[in-house]
Structure 1
Amino acid sequence: MTRLLICLDSGTTAVKAAAFDLAGHLLASAERPNTALRREGARVEQDMEASRDLAMAVLRDVAAQAQGRPEGLILTGQGDGLWPVDAEGRPVGNAFTWLDGRARALAAAMAPALDAIEAVTGARPTAAAQSLQLLWLQQNAPERFARIAHALRLKDWLFYTLTGTLLAEPTAALPVWGSWRSGETSRLVQEALGLTRGVELQPAFAPVGEARAALSPAAAAITGLPAGLPVLLGPGDVQSTLIGLGLGTRPEVTRASVFGTSAIHACLLDDPDTMPEAPRGAMVQKYVLGEGYLCFHPCFNGATVLAHLGGVFRDPATPHEPAYSPLILHPFLEPGGERAPWTDPEASGALFGLTAATTPAQIAWAGREALAFVACTSHAMMGAPGGALSLGGGLARDAAFARFLATCTGVPVLRSPTAHAGPRGLAAIAATHLLDAGQEDIALHWIGPAEERLMPDTGPVADYAQGKYAAFRQLIDTTRPHWAVLSDLAAKAAPLHDKEYA
C-alpha cells in the first residue's frame, strides 16, 4: 500500500487538501469553495464551525481518492485574524479574518502607540492584526471579549479541532506579539494599546516540526484518516506557499510573488536590516527550512482587485492579450485600506485616464498592470538579490500578466500554474521533519523545476511599462495626502444612505 503525506491548506477563497507519495508525487487533491466566509461591508468574518467542517470534508475527500497509508498530516491556514475560543475550546462568535476592516479607525487614530509597537515587532499593526481586533472587541463588545480564553489563528483552530491540543508556532504570532530578532513575545504590545489581555491569550508555542499531536479518534472517524496519525502544525499559508514556489528551495529563485485573494511579495535574506526600505506593513519571519528570514509585503489588495473591478464596471472582459492604454489604476479597493508596500488604513483606489472610448478589456488589463507595479515597488524596497522571480496564485495562469511582471521587474519570471504551491510547500516541510529529507531531495523531488520561464520584454513594451510605472508612483504620491479626506467623506456619506428625500 502506498505511503502518503496529507496536506491541508485552508485559504480565504478555497479550502484545499492534497496527498503526496513519499517520493513527492502528487497523487490526489481536493478543493471546496470557502463558504464559511461572511462579508458585509467592513465586517469580513468566518464561521469557525463551518471552517472546521470544510477542513474535515476536504481531508475526507482526499483520503478517499488517495487510497494509501498516511504517514502524517500537516496543515496551514490564513496567517492573520482572530479566532477566539472560550475556556472549553468553543468559538466565541465568528472569527475576524485578515480582511476585516472594523479596526481600521483604530489603526488610523493610534499613531503613537503603533509607533512604539513597530519599534519592537518590526511590523506596524493594521486592521488585520489580532491585537487591534482584540482591542476593537474590548471597546465594542466587552462581554464577548471577557469570554475569550485563547486567541487563535485559523491554523491553530484547525489543529485543535483535529487533535484536541491547543498549540501555536511562533513565526505567525511574533510579527504581532513579539520580535523576530529575540524570538520572544512582548507585553509592550498590549500595554501600548491599552489591551487588558493579549499575550496571555496566546496558546503555548512550539517550533515548526515540534508543533505536533496525534489525530483524535473523533476527527479520524470524520475524515477517514487513522486515529493517532501525527499532525504537524505548519507555518502560515504565506511561508508554506513561498516554500512551494521555490523560495529557499530552488537555487535560482531569489524572490516570489503570490496573487491570490491577497498579494504577497517576498525574498529570503540573511539579515533583514539590510533592506533598502521597510514599509510599516512589511513582515519578517524566521525561515522554517534553514537559515535566514523571509521578508515579505502582505497586501490586502490582490487578485480580488480584478473581481472588484468586474463588479464596479459590470464584469469587464478578461483580456487574452495585453490591452495597453493610458489608464492607471490605484488598486486599493479593500475596506481595510492597504497594508504594504503602502501602509495606510485609509488608502482608497483611483482610476486615471478614463474616457468614453475606454474598453472593458483596457480596464481589466489596467488592473493587472497595477498589481505588477505594486509587486515591482515591493521587490525594490526589499532589495532582493539578483535571480528569478517565482510567480504563484491564480494569476500565475495568465501568461500575458506573467510576462508583463517580468518586464516591470527586469528579471525572469518562473511560473508553475498547475503545481499546487501551498500543499507542495507543506509537503516539503513535512518531508523534512517526518522523513528526514535533505535540501537536494526537497529541491529535486518535492518542489521540482518550474513549468515555464518568461523573460522580460524589451523595446516599446519595456519603454511603455517603465513610463507607466513612473506615472503610477507619481500619482500615488499626489493622491496619498487626500486619502484621509476621502475616508472622512465616506463616514459622512454612510448615514445619508438611510435617509429619504422628497
Structure 2
Amino acid sequence: MALILGIDNGLTVTKAVIFDEGGHVLSTARRRVAQSMPRPRHVERDMDDLWAQTAAAIAEAVAGCGRPAGDIAAVAATAHGDGLYLLDGDARPLGPGILSLDSRAGDIAQGWQDDGTAQRALDRTGQMPHASAPSAILAWIRNHEPERFARIGHVLACKDWLTFRLSGRIGTDLTEASTSFTDVRTQGFAPDIPAIFGVTIPLPEIALPDQVVGHVTDAAARLTGLSEGTPVVAGLHDVTASALGSGGYGAGTVAIVAGTYSINETVTAQPLSDPRWFCRNGISMGEWNAMSISPASAANYDWFLDTLCAVEGRQAQDRGGALHAEIIPEIEAALAQPSSAIFHPYLFGSPHGPTASGAFFGLRGWQDRGHMLRAVIEGIAFNHRHHVDALRHGFQPQVARLTGGISRSPVFAQLFADVLAMPVTVTATDEAAAWGAALCAGSGVGLFASPRHDPRDLDAVTTRFSPDPDRSAQMAERYAVFTELNDALRPIWPRLEALQGPR
C-alpha cells in the first residue's frame, strides 16, 4: 500500500503527516515556527526558518513511519491563506513572510471601502479586500517600503514557498490564486485587476490542486529524508483542505473550522458574490468556494485558558492531564443554568471592522469561571452563526461539518448544533487539513480518481449532533442580545481603540 505525505502549515505550527492510501495516519511530526511582531499590527515569520522547521518535521515523520521513504508516492502542502510571501528576482526571500493575522494594511482596506475600490474589487474578483489580503499588503509595501516593492520578483502564498523549497517550482494553485487577483468568472488572473489596487506585480503560474508540478530535489531530499524525485503536487489553501479532509467539501454542506479563524464555507457551481463572503475558486474549474470568515473563533478560548487559567493548566500537565478536558464539567454545569453573561470573541479581530474588540457583558458577582467559559464558547458559536446565516442567505446548506480543536468535545459540538439550529457532524480526523493535501497528492499520482474520492468510510468515522428545539430557542434569544450589543457598540469601538494610542 502506497504512502502519501501531507504538510500542513498553520500560523504557529508546521506539521508533516504520513498516511497510507486508506487514510490511516502512520506518523505525525510537528515543529513550532516562531512569529515576530516588530511593530503593532505586524505579524511575520522568517521564511528560511519556516522551511527549516518544516523540513525537520518531514524528516521526523519519514523516520517514524516504519516504511522506507521510497514508499511515499507523492507529497502536497497546505498552509494558511492570505498574507504574503515575497521572493526577489533570484528567488530568495524578500523580507519576512507576512501572516494572515497581520493587520498593518487595515487603513488601506478601509480607505478602499470608502472610495469605491472595494466595490470594484468585489465586482471583478468576487471579494472585498481586507487587511491581510495580498492586494492590501502589497499596497502597504508600495507606500511604506518602496525599495522592497521595486525588488519583487515573485508573489507567493505560504504553501507555495514550501512547494518551491521541495521542488524548485515557482507557482501557485487554483484555490490560492483567488485571494486577490483572479477574475471571479474566468477563475484566472486578469491583467486589469492589480491596477484596481494600484499595484503592478508579477503573478505566478496557476496549477490545479492535484496537479504534479515538480519532484523533490536533491537538496530537499537531503534535508527531509524524502527520496529524490518523489512527485510534488500543487496543494491548496488550508480552508479548502480542511473541508476536503473532513468530508465537508460539497454543495449543501457548510464546512466550519473553529480555530484561530472562524471559517465557514460552502461549495457552489455559480460565482455568486456578496460583501459578506469571499467567492473564491474551488478545487476544480467551474466550482467556487463561498467563504465567510473572521479571526474570531477558538483562539479566544485558548486565550482564556492560557491567560486566566495558567496555573491550573500547569498543574493539569503535571498530573499528566489537560486543563481543557478537566474544565468541561464546569462549562456543562454553567450551561444547565440561566446566565446573563455574554462574550464578544473579538480579541484578535472580528467581522465588524478593525476596531471591534472583545468584551464580557452581563457578569454578576455570583457567577463563576464556568459562566465565563460558557460565554466564551457561546460567543465563538454565535460568531460562526453570523457567518453561517450569511451563507444561508445565498445558498441552502442543510448540515454543518465541524472541525478544529474544540470540535473534539461533544459538549461544544452539541452547542454548535443548538446555536446554528441545524445538524452538525464531526469526523474523527485529527489532521483534516493535512489529509486534504494528501488527497490532492494521491489524486495527482493516480491513487484516487479525484481529491473528492476519500477512501475512508466516512459514515463510520462521523458523529452527528442534532439541535435540541428547546435549547435552540434559548440560544436564539441569547444570539439576539449578542447581535444587539454589536449594533450598540459600533460607534463606541473606535473610541475604545483610540485609547491605546496611534497604530
Quickly name the TM-score band, shorter chain normalised.
0.7 to 0.9
Take 2:353 and 2:487, find their aligned partners in 1: how far apart are those partners? 13
Offset at residue 141 of structure 1 (A): 1.7
Equivalent in the alignment of 2:296: 301
Give 1:123's aligned residue: 127
Inter-CA distance 13–415: structure 2 relative to 1 (3 Å threshold):
farther
Counterpart for residue 34 of structure 1 = 33
Return the offset for 1:27: 1.8
Q: Distance in 2 between matches of 1:439 and 1:143?
A: 44
Contact 1:414–1:450, Cα closer than 8 Å, also in 2: no
Q: 2:143 aligns with which of 115, 139, 145?
A: 139
Structure 1 residue 151: deviation in Å?
Answer: 1.5
Equivalent residue number for residue 344 of structure 2? 330
2:367 is aligned with what amino acid? Answer: T
**Aligned-pair CA distance for 1:6:** 1.0
Partner of 1:419: 430
Give the counterpart letter for 2:398 in structure 1.
G
Percent sequence identity is 28
Q: Indicate whether 1:429 and 2:440 are aligned.
A: yes
Q: Conserved in 1, the CA contact under 8 Å of 2:33 and 2:45? A: no
- Mapping 1:265-284, distance limit 5 Å: 265-273=264-272, 278-280=274-276, 282-284=277-279
2:256 paired with 1:257? yes
Does residue 186 of structure 1 match 2:190?
Answer: yes
Q: Work out whether residues 121 and 178 of structure 1, in 8 Å CA contact, stay in contact via their aligned partners in 2.
A: yes
Return closer, same or farther for 1:447/1:158 CA change in 2, 3 Å cut-off: farther
Cα 1:50/1:375, change in 2 over 3 Å:
same
Tell me the amino acid that sits aligned with residue 484 of structure 1: P
1:400 to 411, 435, 438: 411
Q: Which residue of 2 aligns with 1:499?
A: none
Counterpart residue type for residue 369 of structure 1 = E
Q: TM-score, normalised by structure 2?
A: 0.88
> Which residue, 150, 157, 165 being the options, matches 2:154?
150
Query: Residue type matched to 2:355 in 1?
Result: E
Q: Measure how far apart 1:143 and its partner are.
A: 1.9
| Unpaired runs of at least 5, structure 1 | 495-502
Matched, 1:456 2:467: yes
Shift of 1:118: 1.9
Match of 2:318 in 1: none
Q: Secondary structure at the match of 1:108?
A: helix
Q: Name the SS for the 1:226 alignment partner.
A: coil
> Is residue 331–residue 367 contact of structure 1 (8 Å, CA) maintained in 2?
yes
Matched to 2:291, the amino acid is F
Task: Please state how far the C-alpha of 1:400 moved relative to its aligned partner.
Answer: 1.1
* Aligned 8 A contact 1:79 1:172 in 2: yes
2:485 counterpart of 1:442: no
Distance 1:363 1:40 in 2: 31
The whole-number CA distance in structure 2 between the counterparts of 1:427 and 1:290 is: 20
For the 8 Å contact 1:327–1:353, the answer to whether it is kept is: yes
Runs of 4 or more off by more than 6 Å in structure 1?
none
Q: How much does 1:311 deviate? A: 5.8
Over residues 418-439 of structure 1, what are the superposed CA-to-partner deviations in whole Å (9 max), with x where a residue is unaligned? 4321122122222222125237
Q: Distance in 1 between matches of 2:212 and 2:184?
A: 18
Alpha carbons of structure 1 residues 312 and 352: separation in structure 2 relative to 1, 3 Å: farther
Aligned equivalents of 2:493, 2:129: Cα separation in 1: 19
- Residue of 479, 482, 485 corresponding to 2:489: 479
**Distance (Å, rounded) in 1 between the aligned partners of 2:149 and 2:271:** 35
RMSD over aligned Cα, in angstroms? Answer: 2.5
Aligned residues: 477
Unaligned runs of 5+ in 2: 313-322
Cα deviations by residue, 1:375-417 (Å, 9 ceiling, x for unpaired): 2222221125353311101111222111010011122221235
Structure-2 residue corresponding to 1:288: 283
Q: 1:136 is paired with a residue of what secondary structure?
A: helix
From the superposition, tell whether residues 440 and 213 of structure 1 become closer, same or farther in structure 2 (CA, over 3 Å): closer
* Contact 2:155 2:204 survives alignment (8 Å): yes
Q: Deviations over 1:184-238 (max 9, x none)?
A: 323444323333x23x2x2222222335101100000111111011001111011
Match of 2:382 among 373, 377, 387: 373
Alpha-carbon distance change, 417 to 260 in structure 1, aligned in 2, over 3 angstroms = farther
Distance in 1 separating the partners of 2:53 and 2:451: 35
Conserved? CA contact 2:426–2:464, under 8 Å = yes
Q: 1:295 is paired with a residue of what secondary structure?
A: strand
- Check conservation: 2:74, 2:442, Cα contact below 8 A: no
Q: Take 1:429 and 1:256, find their aligned partners in 2: how far apart are those partners?
A: 18
Instruction: Please give the alpha-carbon distance, in whole angstroms, between the structure 2 residues aligned to 1:418 and 1:178.
Output: 32
Equivalent residue number for residue 227 of structure 2: 226
Structure 1 residue 25 corresponds to structure 2 residue 24:
yes
**Residue 500 (structure 1) aligns with:** none
